A and B are shown apart, each in its own frame.
Chain A
Amino acid sequence: QVQLVQSGAEVMKPGASVKVSCKASGYTFTSYYMHWVRQAPGQGLEWMGIINPSGGSTTYAQNFQGRVTMTRDTSTSTVYMELSSLRSEDTAVYYCARSYFDSSGPDYWGQGTLVTVSS
């Protein structure tokens, strides 16, 4: 069965960077795009960007341009999302989620990773 297993919760200082991982299994890793979506406490879903695990190409949402980097490791079927220059407003649950087309909403989602930014 399809599984997206994310890394554990993180507590970060303002100004630091965080790197969240998402390990995929149960399907052909390079055949599906991977989105990153975040959700601040009590708020809605916010799309951050997408990576094509096949070639590594990325598209980032304008709000995160220059601060987010998405990468992948095909040998371990893992995608990564690194967010830099963290501020308190970045406190959120970060989800990875796959889709077959880059224009589709995701079908399967990871369990989420809570990133807390606090001094």
Chain B
Amino acid sequence: QSALTQPASVSGSPGQSITISCTGTSSDVGNYDLVSWYQQHPGRAPKLLIYEVNKRPSGVSNRFSGSKSGNTASLTLSGLQAEDEADYYCCSYTGSRISFGGGTKLTVL
């Protein structure tokens, strides 16, 4: 049972935008601007997409963006492409440890 709650699945058509939510509590997501997002393709290691809520590492497409409101963080992916089909995980500092969300499977229709 993950401390952070994500929808199990989302889907969208090429070119569309989707948003994945990550709901925590006032002890983690709501208390720290230390939310990260990862993309994981089957059989591969996770890849960092967003850190500190809304910052993108060098080399990550600007189609990925992050935000936070209260205890819920969100990852928005615009201009969906076939290669975006993957699992996505949020991650937050909890004051003493790191916690991951349960993951969301993105299907590009």
Contacts and interface: CB of A to CB of B under 8 A. Distances in A.
Given A105-B36, A105-B38, A110-B45, A47 B2 contact: no
Interface in A71-119: 95, 97, 103-112
Given A45-B103, A46-B100, A59-B96, A107 B46 contact: no
A35 B48 CA distance: 14
A44 B32 contact: no
Interface SS of B by simple majority: strand
B45 A112 contact: yes
A47 B45 contact: no
Contact residues on A (Cβ < 8 Å of other chain), bracket:
20 to 34
Interface in A40-71: 44-47, 49-50, 59, 61
B98 interface: yes
B34 A44 contact: no
B90 to A, nearest CB: 9
A11 B34 CA distance: 36
Contact of B48 (A44, A46, A47, A107): A107
B19 interface: no
Contacts of A107: 48, 51, 57
Given A103-B32, A107-B51, A110-B45, A44 B97 contact: no
